[in-house]
Chains A and B, each alone.
Chain A
Amino acid sequence: MADSTVMDLLRFATIGSVDDGKSTLIGRLLVDTRQLFDDQLEAVAHASVSRGVGDLDLSFVTDGLRAEREQGITIDVAYRYAATPTRKFIIADCPGHVQYTRNMATGASTADLALAVVDATAGLKEQTRRHLCIAALLGVRRVIVAANKMDLAEWAKDPYDAIAAEVDALADRLGIEEPLVVPISALHGDYVVEPTGAAPWYDGPTVLGALEAAPAGGWAGEGTVGSRLPIQWVLRHPTGKRTYAGMVDGAPLAPDQRMVLLPAGIDATVRRVATADGDLALAPVGRCVDVDLHEDTPAGRGDMLASPPLPQVLDHLTATVCWFGEEQAREQPREPLTAGQRFRVKHTTRTTVGFVEHVHARLDVNRLVLEPADTLEANDIGIVSITTADPLVVDPYTANRITGSFVLVDERTNATLAGAMVGEPTFATA
């Protein structure tokens, strides 16, 4: 026990339209891999019976809020954890409704992979196409599609083939890997964990098999840019020395590495890469470290240490934004996003203010076409240009999710109003 050998960790998010069975599938996956404790299963059974929805409503495993159970929908992301002998999973079960896009984006923004659930009796819905598009925008390059409710389709191959053809074409447009499509019944458990033989024409893996086989890790992006260390905090040692604390991003960091302190543009060399447990010969991406530099620099929170290929230093940039357009703190919907609006901008560890100079276009997520627009309504995705008071040290989002992303925040209420990605989507046509 207490096995400390490296175990793969896969972060995935469920996506797809409301009522296609995302939460039921996650419930089934957790039950059939025995992740649920007896008392948790009893509580789900008890709640199902008392709400008159059968003996065991598997969606109640993740739909844990009172309002969710009353309405039979998912409102916010539920995070669940599972482990099989070969792998650990962090599961973000996301809501399907358009008005909860902000919560879906929250779940998908850190996912290695998306598990798209499609009702085989209804085909690919607009909302599923929208979620696949958002997931691709957020940098999720791998998708597994669960063609659900195959029992209601009497396990006919035609609806399965129709979904597979449609998602293949869409994946091709979105520039994501060709998805594996698994025919399943989340309700009855076919091909979720057990290959029950209900679809004799299917010889691929189950959903669990596919999840165990998918490449894991690296949601933040690795290898396409140099080392990045957004400085979180200056550690002042009792000796008077200063070291720079942050999480390694982009590429591993090692002693003797030549860096540039940005935005100032000062050359520096790494002397030591330390942790509370001692020095590292090589700090991997995702590791929190304290960096000691040979040079005395004026570095502080919000600055970034970087090695080539270097990021850009910009105070005017073009970004793809998911405009949530809703105050979290109050009931009122917010006015649409237009040119001239001012926000607080949080990018890596740097917070500044910025103006939206222009709204250029709105993305039609069905046709994957950019349409000219000068406003964005709630849950729209669009292209905007932004000018910031202090320069940002950025990589294109497609190269690195951490240094390529920022959020727009209401200066008065502190509500997070938009998620933004540096650059434009590669798949959309004008």
Chain B
Amino acid sequence: MTTSSAAPASDAALPVRVDHLDLLESHAIFIIREVVAECERPVLLFSGGKDSAVLLHLAVKAFAPALIPFPVMHVDTGHNFDEVIAYRDRQAEAAGARLVVASVQASIDAGRVLDPGEGVSRNRIQSTTLLDALSHHGFDAAFGGARRDEDKARAKERVLSFRDRFGRWDPRRQRPELWQLYQGRVNHGEHLRAFPLSDWTELDIWQYIERERIELPSIYFAHDRDVVHRDGMLLAVSEWVAPRGDEVAERMRVRYRTVGDATCTGAVVSEARTVAQIIEEISVARVSERGATRADDKFSETAMEDRKREGYF
């Protein structure tokens, strides 16, 4: 029950204060419903990360007690944490949603993209797999959990973000998005990305996870793991990541702040075992979520913009 913000009905003339999480939740639900109403075949992109967990939770709420009227799609780089895949399957089933898996390995095998090589991130080549899958299934709108506070290019992006026939984002030619008039029509071959969490911050996400008791993959919480120090990050030793040169595997207590391709997503040193402890930890953090955990954004000043122009999430 979330009725705490409602004032007594006898006082209807007074303005009612609304909790900021209620506002963010309502705005996101409004966007999800608008996209479903305006587009033919939406799909929800689900990575198993915390933002997509919140997104799926909101989608379920937007249509309860009916089931969500669209499938869930995971773009699978093949470099996964087992816990995340198990979590993904569990969540899709709990939501009653059909799960579509788009495989980067399949794109490599089909010759659509070049394998970047052993132990190298497949983050960038995901765009091809994603665009091929959208086109193959005829999806004209893809919900994503991206937030504007993550990156300076995302900060510029509309809630409904238009993609041309080539899947490209052109930041200079975005549709004006006035008031709450989300205008979602596209022509054949074009599509939309819809970002209902645009106005949420990392802290909002965690506060909402706590309030709604949303389940997350266990790797978000502190655990002991063998890691190597590489590119200023802590990478988990795995099937794809082994110590190189003079790197030494070290057992440390860590957790993940984001979930992505295991070869380019770093862990952070942490003792936080509960959502409340995580909220406390990030409230005093001095390094951003992507800065702490994503090697792929360290390459250039406009790495995210460049990837998005190619069709990235």
Is the CB–CB distance between B7 and A78 below 8 Å? no
- Write the chain A residue with the least CB distance to B151: A64
- Write the chain B residue with the least CB distance to A77: B156
Contact of A238 among B37, B66, B210, B276 (CB under 8 A): B66
Given A4-B19, A276-B64: A105 touches B178 (CB 8 Å cut-off)? yes
Is the CB–CB distance between A276 and B19 below 8 Å? no
> How far, in angstroms, from A88 to B148 measured CA to CA in the complex?
15
The residues of A that contact B178 with a CB separation of less than 8 Å are 105-106, 109, 405, 407, 416, 419
The residues of B that contact A407 with a CB separation of less than 8 Å are 176, 178, 181, 183
Is the CB–CB distance between A65 and B181 below 8 Å? no
Question: At the interface, yes or no: A414 with Cβ under 8 Å from chain B?
Answer: yes
Question: At the interface, yes or no: A6 with Cβ under 8 Å from chain B?
Answer: yes
Contact with A along B169-190 (1 / 0, CB 8 A): 0011111111111010111000
> How far, in angstroms, from A80 to B16 measured CA to CA in the complex?
26
Question: At the interface, yes or no: A38 with Cβ under 8 Å from chain B?
Answer: yes
Is the CB–CB distance between A9 and B37 below 8 Å? no
Contact with B along A122-141 (1 / 0, CB 8 A): 00000000000000000000
- Write the chain B residue with the least CB distance to A43: B301
Question: At the interface, yes or no: A406 with Cβ under 8 Å from chain B?
Answer: yes
- Write the chain A residue with the least CB distance to B184: A414
Is the CB–CB distance between B279 and A2 below 8 Å? yes
The residues of B that contact A406 with a CB separation of less than 8 Å are 181
The residues of A that contact B19 with a CB separation of less than 8 Å are 4, 6-7
Is the CB–CB distance between B156 and A40 below 8 Å? no
- Tell me which of B3, B37, B171, B176 has the highest count of chain A C-beta atoms within 10 A of its own C-beta: B176
Contact of B183 among A81, A402, A409 (CB under 8 A): A409
Contact of A79 among B33, B37, B199 (CB under 8 A): B199
- Tell me which of A222, A276, A405 has the highest count of chain B C-beta atoms within 10 A of its own C-beta: A276
> How far, in angstroms, from A407 to B288 measured CA to CA in the complex?
37
The residues of B that contact A344 with a CB separation of less than 8 Å are 185
CB proximity of B147 to chain A, nearest CB, Å: 9
- Write the chain B residue with the least CB distance to A324: B176
Is the CB–CB distance between A106 and B177 below 8 Å? yes
Chain A residues bordering chain B, tally (CB within 8 A) = 87
Is the CB–CB distance between B16 and A414 below 8 Å? no
Is the CB–CB distance between B3 and A280 below 8 Å? yes
> How far, in angstroms, from A80 to B155 measured CA to CA in the complex?
7
Is the CB–CB distance between A282 and B12 below 8 Å? yes
Contact of A237 among B66, B181, B185, B287 (CB under 8 A): B66
Given A2-B207, A43-B301, A47-B301: A81 touches B15 (CB 8 Å cut-off)? no
- Tell me which of B27, B155, B183 has the highest count of chain A C-beta atoms within 10 A of its own C-beta: B155
> How far, in angstroms, from A80 to B287 measured CA to CA in the complex?
17
Contact with A along B1-29 (1 / 0, CB 8 A): 11111111101100111111111011101
CB proximity of B165 to chain A, nearest CB, Å: 10
For window 8-45 of A, CB contacts with B under 8 Å fall at: 9, 37-40, 43
- Write the chain A residue with the least CB distance to B64: A276
Contact of B16 among A61, A75, A284 (CB under 8 A): A284
For window 271-313 of B, CB contacts with A under 8 Å fall at: 275-276, 279-280, 283, 285-288, 291-292, 301-302, 305-306
**Tally of A-B residue pairs with Cβ under 8 A?**
230
The residues of A that contact B285 with a CB separation of less than 8 Å are 37
Is the CB–CB distance between A416 and B176 below 8 Å? yes
> How far, in angstroms, from A349 to B2 measured CA to CA in the complex?
26
Given A90-B199, A105-B176: A76 touches B171 (CB 8 Å cut-off)? yes
CB proximity of A227 to chain B, nearest CB, Å: 9
> How far, in angstroms, from A278 to B171 measured CA to CA in the complex?
41
Is the CB–CB distance between A328 and B65 below 8 Å? no
Is the CB–CB distance between B152 and A275 below 8 Å? no
Is the CB–CB distance between B26 and A288 below 8 Å? yes
Question: At the interface, yes or no: A149 with Cβ under 8 Å from chain B?
Answer: no
Contact of B23 among A39, A75, A286 (CB under 8 A): A286
The residues of A that contact B3 with a CB separation of less than 8 Å are 277-281
Is the CB–CB distance between A281 and B1 below 8 Å? no
Question: At the interface, yes or no: A103 with Cβ under 8 Å from chain B?
Answer: yes
> How far, in angstroms, from A223 to B15 measured CA to CA in the complex?
8
Extra pairs beyond A1-B279, A6-B20, A414-B187 (14, CB < 8 Å): A1-B283, A2-B207, A4-B211, A7-B19, A79-B155, A81-B148, A223-B15, A276-B62, A282-B6, A286-B18, A286-B23, A346-B183, A405-B179, A419-B179
Q: List 23 A-B contacts (CB under 8 A).
A: A6-B17, A37-B287, A37-B288, A50-B301, A62-B155, A88-B20, A106-B178, A232-B30, A245-B62, A247-B26, A247-B180, A276-B64, A280-B3, A281-B8, A282-B6, A284-B5, A285-B15, A286-B23, A347-B181, A402-B179, A409-B185, A414-B187, A419-B179
